Structure 1
Amino acid sequence: MRGARAWMPTVVVALLLWATWAVTKDFEHIPELKPSQPLSAIPMAIGPYFGHDVVVDPYVHKVLQPTDLVFRTYSDASGADVGFFMTYHGKQTSEFHPHSPKLCLPGAGWFAEEVVPKGVVTEDGRTVNVMRAVYESSGERQVFFYWFQTGRRTVANEYLQKLWMIADGLFRHRTDVAFVRLSTSGNGLSPQEAQARLENFLRLLLPHLDAVLPG
């Protein structure tokens, strides 16, 4: 009995992936949405931070095939940095969709120390559902927030996002989604300090995300 329970999560995930593949094959008729504004319209100056663009490896474009993408590092006067990576898929398919850091980061040599869901409450009472993750590689520690966003809906869990994609395709005739990832160095900071930096930046960034994403 205990062995059967151990296999249940694997079976559920396999069934979900199969269902997603099967259903999205019927979504070919759904049009690709464009962002309300190019992602590059997100300001370089956000609160006390000023950003500069980071060159994206052509392989990333080839694998993800996003409708639009932005990759920047934002810094404040004290030298505190926040990495900002965002892709927008105007139409998800079984082949092209956002990739989870749970797959990408380990493949690049990063090891997860902690991956937990978290709700970040904004000043207007809105809750942004993110995944808080701490990864380590060769003595370097990075703290991440990442989430999936369609309109103003935010989802932290990859599998829940797939269910939302199916529901959106069936009932809203759209399958678009943005993937947003924030990161900052955890070296020399307590986990609470690194998390607070990302929370503050998220609150500053969110209105700009709402402005570029279709409602």
Structure 2
Amino acid sequence: MVIAALAAAAIMLAGGGYYRVLAGRYARAVESVRMPEGWLNALPLEIDGWRGHDEPLERSVIRATDTDAHLNRVYVNAAGTKAVALFVGYGIRLRDLLPHRPEVCYPGNGWLLSQRDDLQLDPGDGSSVTCRLLSFRKGGFSADDVSVLNYYVVDGQYCADVSALRERAVQETAAQSYSVQVQISTPGGIGADPRGVLVEFARACAPLLRELMPDRLGTGAAAPVAKAEVEP
């Protein structure tokens, strides 16, 4: 169950090559604010009955994500009947998050989109989380299903797609911006309602992630820094 959740997440992380060609038009180095090392690790390992553990990524996968900070975890509910893979990515250069969209990465790895819905989630903290919920299917002898919930937080604004990233990437004065991608995935074979599992976890997790954003931590005026290099 956990292995399947991890496999679902790995598709998005490594599959952004095609869209990099399109992202070239946003090649100006618009940068986000500096964040302290390891800041995403402050997300609790226990979230409303879910227990998480970190899953370190290989260096090649880290490079493929084009992120300057990331969090990769698997969370399992107390009964052991539900599991989700959570990936959070922070890009100092706003354009670096553009290639990594489920709509691009999953079809690029042989998955067919079977359902897509834009949702407004109420996490109970007074906010409304705009997100995109997608289901993919792969046929043949390796028939499988996976569901993915994806959203971005751009300067405190929730958005379901990369439209806000594009707007910020082409602006002249975006040096104090920040952009975070949140992706939660689960295999279709877990439980009777994998999309419901994603919504359940996203509602519980969103307020805690929101408190880690630069504007909430008081780092929104920090100076931008160069993109970190990952050694081979």
TM-score by length of 1: 0.76
Identity %: 21
Deviation digits for residues 19-78 of structure 1 (CA, Å, limit 9, x no counterpart): x836x52x45x5643269611121111111111112313222223331101111100122
RMSD: 2.5
Structure 2 equivalent of residue 6 of structure 1 = none
Q: C-alpha distance in 2, partners of 1:172/1:188?
A: 41
Q: C-alpha distance in 2, partners of 1:134/1:102?
A: 10
Deviation at 1:188, TM superposition (A): 5.6
Gaps of 5+ in 2: 1-21, 216-232
Pairs within 5 Å for 1:1-215: 21=25, 25=28, 27=29, 30=31, 32-34=33-35, 38-79=39-80, 80-93=82-95, 96-98=96-98, 99-137=100-138, 138-166=142-170, 169-187=171-189, 189-190=191-192, 193-215=193-215
Q: C-alpha distance in 2, partners of 1:56/1:111?
A: 26
Off by >4 Å, runs of 4+ in structure 1: none
Q: C-alpha distance in 2, partners of 1:119/1:36?
A: 31
Structure 2 residue matching 1:170: 3-state secondary structure: coil
Q: 1:198 to 1:171 in 2, by over 3 A?
A: same
What code does the residue aligned with 1:150 have? V
Structure 2 residue matching 1:212: 3-state secondary structure: coil
Q: Which has the higher contact order (CA 8 A, sep 6+)?
A: 2
Gaps of 5+ in 1: 1-16
Q: 1:35 to 1:162 in 2, by over 3 A?
A: farther
Structure 2 equivalent of residue 12 of structure 1 = none
Q: C-alpha distance in 1, partners of 2:150/2:36?
A: 19
Q: C-alpha distance in 2, partners of 1:33/1:82?
A: 29
Contact 1:53 1:73 in 2 (8 A): yes
